Amino acid sequence: MMEIIGREEFCFPHLFNNSCRKPSLHWFEFVFQNIMQSFISLITAALNLLIIISVSHFRQLHTSTNILLLSLAVSDFLVGLLLMPLEIFKNTTCWFLGDIMCAAFCYLTWHIPLASVGNIILISVDRYIAICDPLQYSIRISRVRVKRWVCLSWLWYGLYSLFFMKDELVQPGRNNSCLGECVVFINYVTGTIDLILNFIIPVAIIVFLYMRVFMVAVSQARAMRSHVTAVTLQHSIKLKTMNSELKAARTLGVLVVVYLICYCPYYIYSLVEVDLTSTSYASYLFFLFYLNSCLNPVIYALFYPWFRKTVKLIVTLQILQPGSCDINIL
């Protein structure tokens, strides 16, 4: 009787000697990881899907800047649709999907979040040129060029992730100590390279560009307001444009701060503990890491009026009407 009960604690009772034990979670952890995290995953996928539909459907939103927002929304949507549910599954039950699916999942956990980082860098560069060199913006930033950079960014991070995951992809399950487990061991060298290339350097670039954007935007706004007493139609248009750029700069600032809040705990702890999977609260670090994908569309809803308008049109199914793609959104 005791042997039967003991076997029931394993993922594969018929392979008693090679099977992993089933995760033992306190009821609070189980409720939190299965209900709260599932709800966040659903909200992440839904909000980012609304952005994807909005930018794709309405022609007025087909700008170079919004193409970057669309790319970011796609990566965040995949986080909510794939990575979050699989992370919940991995941490609350045994991994029954096999070593090949485990390797594919681990590859995506590198590729998709890194693509989000690449998109944030491109958005920072776009805002930097728009505010610091507005006369050259239309020449240097075109929709074709932006699409090319987005594709190159996704390709680069795909190859980058492939390089770091090559051993796991060649021999799936090589780091699993038993059946029913899905882990990837990141050694000190690999973890250090990842920290430098995917956190320190991107953060340095993003913060530097944002500081430049903020200082130039503030100085230009002050210069415009100093001439407000002699307002003409031309000055009014310029002031409206500058206010729009300031709002975009403020949105970028909030985006950067949220990015740092979500990513810092993971990378700071990676300096202390190389193998994050060995910690009892690794799932919370990963989920905070993924939470950035849920907060990005919330930022858009707060700062972009067009997003609130398009959501209303989508929810009320007005986008199904003929000619809806030409509705005035801005």
Q: What is the pLDDT of residues 297-316, one digit of tens each?
A: 888 777 788 888 999 999 99
Superfamily classification of domain 44-326: Rhodopsin 7-helix transmembrane proteins (1.20.1070.10)
Q: Which residues of 69-103 are buried (b: 16+ CB within 10 A; e: fewer)?
A: bbbbbbbbbbbbbbbbebbbbbbbebbeeebeebb
What is the average pLDDT across 247-260? 75
Identify the pLDDT of residue 258: 85
Sign of CA dihedral 77, 71, 251, 237: negative
CB-based contact 126:205 (threshold 8 Å): no
Identify the pLDDT of residue 279: 53
Q: Which two tokens stand for residue 243?
A: 């206010």
Beta strand extents in the chain (DSSP E only): none
Q: Is the pLDDT of residue 1 over 50?
A: no
CA distance 62 to 68: 10
Q: What is the pLDDT of residues 35-67, one digit of tens each?
A: 888 899 999 999 999 999 999 999 999 988 899
Q: What is the pLDDT of residues 63-96, one digit of tens each?
A: 888 999 999 999 999 999 999 999 888 878 888 8
Identify the pLDDT of residue 314: 92
Least confident of 39-43, 53-57, 167-171, 247-251: 247-251
Helices 188-195 and 233-272: crossing angle in degrees, nearest 10, is 170
In terms of C-beta density within 10 A (0-12 exposed, 13-18 middle, 19 or more buried), how is residue 59 classed? Answer: exposed
- Residue type for 214, please? F
Short-list 199, 211, 252, CA closest to 69: 252
Token look-up 């090679």 returns: 18
Identify the pLDDT of residue 226: 61
Q: How confident is the model at residue 248 (pLDDT cuts 50, 70, 90)?
A: low
Higher pLDDT, 41 or 260: 41
Higher pLDDT, 20 or 241: 20
Q: What is the pLDDT of residues 102-123, one digit of tens each?
A: 889 989 988 998 898 899 899 8
CB-based contact 145:68 (threshold 8 Å): no
Higher pLDDT, 127 or 229: 127
CA distance 38 to 11: 23
CA dihedral of residues 120, 125, 126, 132 (deg, nearest 10): 140
Q: How confident is the model at residue 6 (pLDDT cuts 50, 70, 90)?
A: very low
The SS3 assignment for 10 reads strand
CA distance 130 to 238: 14
Which residues lie across from 21 on neighbouring strands?
10
